[in-house]
Amino acid sequence: MTATSPLNRLSLAALGLHGADQLAMAALPLTAVLALGAGPGLVGMLLAAQAAAWLAFSLPAGLLVDRFARGRLLGGATVAAAAGAALAVPAAAAGGGGAVLLGVATFLAACGTVLFVLAAGSLVPVFAPRDGLAAANARLELARAVASLGAPPLAGLLASRGLPVVAYGLAIAAALLAFAATRGLPNRAAVPLAAGRPPIRAKLTEGARFVLSQPLLRGIFGCALAWNFAFFALLAVVVPFAIGPLGLDPARLGLAQAGYGAGMIAGAASAAWVQRRFGPNAVLVAGPGLSVATPLLLLAAPAGSLAAPFAALFLVGFGPMMWLICQTGIRQIVTPPAMLGRVGAVLQVAIYGVRPIGALAGGGLAAAQGPAAGIWLAGAGFAASVLVVLVSDLARLRRLPAGAAA
């Protein structure tokens, strides 16, 4: 594979785009507090603007991916990400009056990420052979994992020196790097438009019906719903649990939380090898299965322990990352090329819709019964995600499935 191959360019674009996304997200609460003087309520509203983009724009983005040249859509996505980061700079300079503008900037940048993720996932089957999908998808997810690990410390360092807005400047540069990488992608990869264009509602319904009727996608859908509910229930309580019952100070808590990013990187790096060695069904069971150990490790950790919470968060990053890469390849194989955007969008909307429910359930239970109760709820959700896989066709998938008709 040459340095300028489409897959290399797509991987570089993913690194730049996710770098921009993670820098902007890490800078958002810091900018809100330090530059706008925001309290927790406003910070929460600004973070909600990012989540709203995934809910509101995923389905329209899926339609765009299935109708237009995907290489050009990738370029447009990076421009949106750069524009959102650029818009955040004057918002921060405006002080307390810049909150609305910062929310708009956050929403716009997140829309760029949504479009990029869907378009990139639809292009991978064009650039990689069927038996190379796991390795190709792993490269894109590794780019996201590296950005997730590196961006928060960098944004925190800049904020500690009174320069949180500089992180947005770096985000602009990263998005422009992604844009440059997309310029070399061939637009022949787009699925040709049909002679007639059915109504938008019919196209979206077609994508949702395909997800629920295809046995493998139905299993992926159910597992993703249960796991994401549990994961956000865990996120809502893990910090109070670590600072409270575990007795970790903020510095040690930060080291423990680094386990999640390390797990993501390790999972992305080993996913293709594990799938080849043990088969897709083993990965699909073990991915959410390893997550079940996370709440058990946290609840059994002795006070002041750093190793146990690090290992717990490592597992919840490692196993699910391998699962994500494996299921993405399966989805790319069984979905007709002309429906890849909509099918991916349907899954994204469902996942991002259940996440707030998990966070509210975990936080509410922890408030009423203590953080440990929220940890148990997350454990129950992780166990349910494994059960969904075990009763579905995914558990019997010893090799990659046959491809869908064009």
Q: How do residues 153-162 score in pLDDT, each as one tens digit?
A: 888 888 888 8
Instruction: Give the chain's length.
Output: 406
Whether 171 and 208 map to the same domain: the answer is no
Whether 281 and 389 map to the same domain: the answer is yes
- Asked whether residue 308 is assigned to any structural domain, the reply reads yes
pLDDT bracket for residue 91 (50, 70, 90) = confident
Whether 280 and 375 map to the same domain: the answer is yes
Q: What is the model's pTM?
A: 0.82
Instruction: Assess contact for 313 and 175: CB atoms under 8 A.
Output: no
Distance CA 3, CA 10 (A): 11
Whether 243 and 392 map to the same domain: the answer is yes
Q: Is it the case that residue 132 has pLDDT exceeding 60?
A: yes
User: Helices (DSSP H) in 244-279: which residue ranges?
Assistant: 250-278
Q: What is the CATH number of the domain that holds 350?
A: 1.20.1250.20
Whether 44 and 84 map to the same domain: the answer is yes
Q: How far is CA 249 from the centre of its chain?
A: 28
Distance CA 381, CA 293 (A): 12
Q: How far is CA 184 from the centre of its chain?
A: 25
Instruction: Assess contact for 135 and 119: CB atoms under 8 A.
Output: no
Distance CA 173, CA 181 (A): 13
Whether 217 and 272 map to the same domain: the answer is yes
Give me the amino acid identity at 202: A
pLDDT at 283: 96
- Asked whether residue 190 is assigned to any structural domain, the reply reads no
Domain extent, residue 326, equals 203-396
- Asked whether residue 363 is assigned to any structural domain, the reply reads yes
The domain boundary residue, chosen from 132, 148, 182: 182
Contacts of 129 (CB under 8 A, 6+ apart): none
- Asked whether residue 187 is assigned to any structural domain, the reply reads no
- Asked whether residue 299 is assigned to any structural domain, the reply reads yes
Whether 113 and 209 map to the same domain: the answer is no
- Asked whether residue 105 is assigned to any structural domain, the reply reads yes
pLDDT bracket for residue 2 (50, 70, 90) = low
Whether 222 and 127 map to the same domain: the answer is no
- Name which of 340, 19, 297 is nearest 172 in CA terms: 19
Whether 156 and 207 map to the same domain: the answer is no
